[in-house]
Structure 1
Amino acid sequence: MSNLEDQLKNPVWYSLNETHNKYLIAYEGVQFYDQEVCTFGSFFDEANTLGASRHYVESTDSFFFVSENKTPIIDESKIVLEKKIEGCQMVLNQLPEIKISEDITLLGREHMDEIYNLIWLVMPGYYRRRTFEMGNYYGIFKEGKLVAVTGQRLQTDLFIEISAVVTHPDYTRKGLAKQLIAYTTNQILKVNKKPILHTNKGNLAIPLYEKLGFELTRDMNWWSYRKIGS
């Protein structure tokens, strides 16, 4: 069995091996999510990404390879690199005492469209409607409207990733994201797993994550690809 440190070096791979195995699409030593749920791919040997990515783009117009320090190989006649997102991984050291004053709701399938619309309003590109299936989502409502959300994405028997930390532009600077992250972190700790998150380098939210007890641990890069002609 793999240990936590090994899993955190390749979190997409191990999520698909364990908790999210039902979403696994495997080609020639490369593992992808079912594109209706998530378009992340993972590998250990970048030589395998050439053929595997050719297969995967038959079912999706775009996807990401996620890797700490390796560069995928692609067929440039079929696939174009749109951008490399230089990211980083943060792992919880110790959660400080945070007062939760907002009513936080465990979101259900009936909220799927609201979650999707809010995330795409603020942070388009990653989230698909069925991404909701990857873990629990929590939200804050104001006047019957979902205005802030936090979700769980990649996960194994050892860790759960906090993701989709989004607040509607009309409700920022009110501490909603801080309370949601703290609440979600506590839910992860209750099931004896390590809370982690990923963000891009230089994100203005990193100081907030650090105040909530998260520490930068390693690079984790997202290579964004698009099928030529799409």
Structure 2
Amino acid sequence: MRELDNPAWHALNGKQRDFGMVGERAARYLPDISPIAAVADQSTQALVELAGFVEPGRFVAVFAPGEPPEGLWRLAAMAPLSQWVCPDPPPIDAEIDWVELTDAQADEMLRLARETDPGPFEARTNRLGDYIGVIRDGRLVAMAGERICLEGYREVSAVCTDEAYTGRGFAQALVLEIVRRQQRADCVPFLHVRTGSPAQVQAIHVYEKLGFQKRGDYAMTVLVRK
């Protein structure tokens, strides 16, 4: 599972290459796909190369980069994460009425993500994998999908529920469906939880119930291009 130490790098150099800009030591998703970027190593050269993919004033979120070279980057934030994998989900039922989400619901997906803040989500993030959701009263009120996908692994992402509809088991049911799809594709599901986020405790409770096990702790570094 060493690929999961730097999942975005392996995804952008593999299955998701068409969704990004890829160089010798640096890569990033297209801006309307995701702000996530990756470097092959912690060298200064990698971050210099990454700077060529980012316009001044814009930011990227990078897994485990080295020290940002002066004059190119400003360190904006460090976001601690825990990474979880699901080698074998339990045989539980969590049936609800859900729908497939496509480009037709892209605006609704973006609205829900901005209201609930499940992590970086842009106008075309939904292109990265399967997305499903729950519609109530004519509105999208819960969703889950896939983001970083590399050979043998797929990330569960954008798990969120409108505050008015929490406590109904929507997140658990949606994640379970995504996980089962990933396993049918012979992929190991994985996900990230922001350490210290308001939803951390509840999210971990749900994920452990679905068979996720903590793999390790990481940090996402937010860099702003000077």
Pairwise same-fold verdict (TM > 0.5): yes
Q: Which runs of 4+ in 1 moved over 4 A?
A: none
Amino acid at match of 1:52: E
Higher alpha-carbon deviation: 57-66 or 152-161: 57-66
Give yes or no for contact 2:144–2:158 (8 Å, CA) kept in 1: yes
Question: TM-score under structure 2 normalisation?
Answer: 0.91
Give yes or no for contact 2:39–2:50 (8 Å, CA) kept in 1: no
> Are positions 1:65 and 2:62 aligned together?
yes
Task: Give unpaired runs (5+ residues) of structure 2.
Answer: none
> Are positions 1:37 and 2:26 aligned together?
no
What CA distance in whole angstroms lies between the structure 1 residues aligned with 2:175 and 2:74? 35
Higher alpha-carbon deviation: 75-84 or 115-124: 75-84
What CA distance in whole angstroms lies between the structure 2 residues aligned with 1:158 and 1:206? 23
Match of 1:220 in 2: 218
Question: Which of the numbers 209, 212, 219 marks the counterpart of 1:211?
Answer: 209
Amino acid at match of 1:220: Y
Match of 1:170 in 2: 164
- 1:128-143 to 2 correspondence within 5 Å? 128-143=122-137
Match of 1:159 in 2: 153
Give yes or no for contact 2:27–2:50 (8 Å, CA) kept in 1: no
> Are positions 1:89 and 2:83 aligned together?
yes
**Percent of paired sites with the same residue:** 27
Cα deviation for residue 54 of structure 1 reads: 2.5
Higher alpha-carbon deviation: 203-212 or 129-138: 203-212
Aligned residues: 221
What CA distance in whole angstroms lies between the structure 2 residues aligned with 1:19 and 1:59? 28
The 1:201/1:125 distance shift into structure 2, 3 A limit, reads: closer
Question: Which of the numbers 44, 49, 52 marks the counterpart of 2:49?
Answer: 52
> Are positions 1:7 and 2:3 aligned together?
yes
Q: Tell me how large the CA RMSD over aligned residues is.
A: 1.8
What CA distance in whole angstroms lies between the structure 1 residues aligned with 2:46 and 2:143? 34
What CA distance in whole angstroms lies between the structure 2 residues aligned with 1:166 and 1:194? 21
